[in-house]
């Protein structure tokens, strides 16, 4: 049987990482006694199964994951590496290799330094990402991938300077690493209803040109304030690329049998950003949570049709032909606008249950009517967790309700530790709500109604 190893890296990323390791291996060669220290190896062997609760009740995710973690400590820091080998049952001859983390770190009197591929996690939002946009995530199989498995490291230089209880963090990334998103042929493709409604016109997706450009370099500053002790405040200033793409649209004229084809190109914009994230203690059991990110220039997709023509997804093929004839050949399908994503919420503890309730608003400034996204988009999340049996059993529930489009997602799961090395998980993810406008430009959970699923996960730690 032929085994295919898939390494998801650009040539630039691989060369940069290799060069960094060669340069940074100098301290290990300079301190041979420290280099003799033992390499610690840990791992997780995980089996994950997810099956539909509707339609044909088929398996929608079946995979084994082997995670290996290597830790080589020294007197001045150490080398950390984490990698995954993933085998999916429906691709019996393929094994995917994911390098999650590989970095060298130093601990100095007032500084912590890291360079290499690393996970950098910020923010306090549940069910979405606001300021937590530095580390790329794997969303190809959407929520069938657990929260602890979706992240893969950002190749970057990371330095933290401590001022007593407070700190200043600098992150420099030489190039943009995009999230891994579902393709047009995936059941998790966010514009799935458009694809099916446009049938028989084929819809494809492509990445934006990934050639390295100096202007893609990214830098982020975070100042963390922990004094006085009733406040935990992060202030951010970034020149970064927001990971949520806008889709540029190209319509090609073909020969039979497909006279037209539509190509959606994932497009991104490097921009100045500023934000904050805070937890404020109101009472020993009541906390205020706040988070916001302002993006000076964020890309949005324009509706690529004349505003005088009403677009009906139930139109016939002939109607589509007439519609495409109305398209302005000079139509610009992308626009740049200031944008802010904000959250306000509360955390409390009732009946030994920790509860987070959060409310979100996305706002587009200088709004124009042909932008696919809504000017104000509102949603809310509710998170609750409680432990039982001396913390061996943990029940978690997370839900999100999109107020504008009246659709929802509910996740409930239980995690039970049989012993220190074996953990079992059972849960469900349910999608539903009102059928939204396919051109709303926001993620609609109602389109995934048929993808609602139950799942089991067995994790062996060694």
Give me the DSSP letters along 401-445: EETTTTEEEEEEEEEEEEETTEEEEEEEEEEEEPPPPTTS-S--G
- 281 versus 203: which is more confidently predicted? 281
Q: Which candidate, 231, 263, 270, places its Cα nearest to that of 248?
A: 263
- Percent over 70 (pLDDT), the chain: 77
What pLDDT digit, counting tens, does each position of 131-164 carry? 999 999 999 999 999 988 999 999 999 999 999 9
- 323 versus 19: which is more confidently predicted? 323
- Give the three-class secondary structure for 204: strand
Give me the DSSP letters along 245-263: -EEEEEEEE--TT-SEEEE
Does residue 257 have a cis bond before it (omega within 30 degrees)? yes
pLDDT at 369 over 90: no
Taking a C-beta distance cutoff of 8 angstroms, is the pair 291, 123 a contact?
yes
- Give the three-class secondary structure for 272: strand
How many CB atoms within 10 Å of residue 91? Answer: 14
Beta strands in 180-267 (DSSP E): 203-206, 218-225, 231-241, 246-253, 260-267
What pLDDT digit, counting tens, does each position of 383-404 carry? 999 999 999 999 999 999 999 9
Q: Give the pLDDT confidence score for residue 12 in this predicted structure.
A: 45
At residue 389, φ and ψ (nearest 5 deg) are 50, 55
Q: Which residues of 17-56 are buried (b: 16+ CB within 10 A; e: fewer)?
A: beebbeebeeebeeeeebeeeeeeeeebebebbbebeeee
Residues 285 and 302: their CA atoms lie apart, in Å, by 46
Take residue 255 and report the two structure tokens written for it.
């020969």
Q: From the CA atom positions of the chain, what is the Rg in Å?
A: 24
Q: Which candidate, 453, 427, 448, places its Cα nearest to that of 57?
A: 453
Q: Which helix (H) or strand (E) holds 360?
A: strand 353-364
Handedness of CA 365, 368, 373, 375 (dihedral sign): positive
Q: Give the pLDDT confidence score for residue 326 in this predicted structure.
A: 53
pTM to 2 decimal places:
0.85
Taking a C-beta distance cutoff of 8 angstroms, is the pair 378, 363 a contact?
no
At 200, the pLDDT band (50, 70, 90 cuts) reads low
What pLDDT digit, counting tens, does each position of 35-87 carry? 445 889 999 999 999 999 987 889 999 999 999 999 998 888 999 999 999 99
Taking a C-beta distance cutoff of 8 angstroms, is the pair 270, 240 a contact?
yes
Q: Which of 160-164, 189-193, 212-216 has the lowest mean pLDDT?
A: 189-193
**Left (φ > 0), alpha (ψ -120 to 50) or beta: where does 352 sit?**
left
Task: List C-alpha distances in Å: 105 to 34, 110, 143.
Answer: 14, 14, 32
70, exposed or middle or buried, with CB in 10 Å at 0-12, 13-18, 19+? Answer: middle
Domains of the chain: 4-461 (2.40.160.10)
Residue corresponding to tokens 């970034």: 238
In sequence order, which residues have a C-beta less than 8 Å from that of residue 26 and are 6 or more positions away?
A: none
Taking a C-beta distance cutoff of 8 angstroms, is the pair 176, 216 a contact?
yes
What pLDDT digit, counting tens, does each position of 252-275 carry? 666 555 556 677 788 899 999 999
What pLDDT digit, counting tens, does each position of 25-36 carry? 554 445 555 544
What pLDDT digit, counting tens, does each position of 270-315 carry? 999 999 999 999 999 999 999 999 999 999 988 755 444 444 444 4
């Amino acid at each position: 049987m032929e085994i295919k190893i898939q390494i998801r890296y650009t040539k630039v990323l691989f060369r940069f990482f290799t060069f960094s390791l060669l340069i940074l291996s100098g301290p290990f060669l300079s301190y041979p006694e420290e280099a003799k220290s033992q390499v610690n190896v840990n791992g997780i062997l995980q089996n994950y199964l997810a099956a539909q609760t509707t339609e044909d009740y088929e398996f929608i995710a079946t995979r084994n994951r082997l995670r290996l973690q290597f830790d080589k400590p020294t007197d001045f820091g150490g080398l950390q590496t984490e990698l995954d080998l993933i085998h999916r049952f429906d691709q019996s001859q393929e094994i995917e290799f994911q390098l999650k983390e590989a970095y060298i770190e130093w601990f100095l009197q007032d500084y912590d330094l890291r360079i290499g591929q690393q996970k950098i996690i910020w923010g306090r939002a549940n069910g979405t990402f606001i300021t937590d946009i530095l580390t790329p995530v794997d969303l190809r199989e959407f929520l069938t991938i657990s929260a602890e498995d979706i992240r893969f490291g950002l190749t970057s230089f990371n330095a933290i300077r401590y001022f007593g209880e407070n700190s200043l963090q600098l992150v420099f990334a030489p190039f943009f690493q995009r999230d891994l998103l579902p393709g047009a042929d995936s059941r998790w493709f966010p514009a799935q209803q458009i694809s099916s409604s446009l049938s028989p016109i084929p819809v494809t997706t492509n990445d934006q040109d990934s050639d390295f450009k100096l202007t893609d370099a990214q830098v982020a500053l975070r100042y963390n304030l922990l004094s006085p002790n009733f406040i935990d405040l992060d202030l951010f200033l970034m020149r970064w690329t927001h990971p949520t793409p806008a889709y540029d649209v190209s319509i090609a004229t073909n020969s039979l049998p497909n006279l037209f084809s539509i190509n959606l190109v994932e497009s991104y914009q490097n921009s100045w950003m500023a934000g904050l994230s805070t937890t404020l203690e109101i009472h020993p059991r009541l906390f205020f949570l706040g988070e916001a990110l302002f993006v000076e220039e964020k890309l949005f997709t324009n509706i690529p049709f004349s505003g005088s023509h009403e677009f009906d997804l139930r139109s016939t093929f002939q109607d589509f032909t007439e519609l495409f004839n109305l398209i302005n050949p000079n139509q610009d399908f992308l626009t740049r606008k200031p944008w802010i994503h904000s959250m306000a919420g509360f955390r409390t503890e009732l009946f030994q249950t920790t509860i987070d309730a959060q409310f979100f608003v996305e706002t587009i400034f200088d709004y124009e009517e042909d932008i696919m996204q809504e000017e104000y988009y509102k949603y809310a999340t509710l998170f609750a967790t409680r432990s039982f049996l001396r913390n061996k059993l943990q029940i978690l529930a997370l839900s999100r309700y999109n107020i504008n489009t009246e659709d929802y997602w509910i996740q409930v799961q239980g995690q039970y530790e049989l012993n220190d090395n074996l953990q079992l998980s059972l849960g469900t993810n349910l999608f539903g709500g009102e059928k939204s406008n396919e051109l709303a430009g926001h993620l609609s959970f109602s389109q995934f109604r048929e993808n609602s699923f139950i799942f089991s996960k067995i994790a062996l730690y060694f």
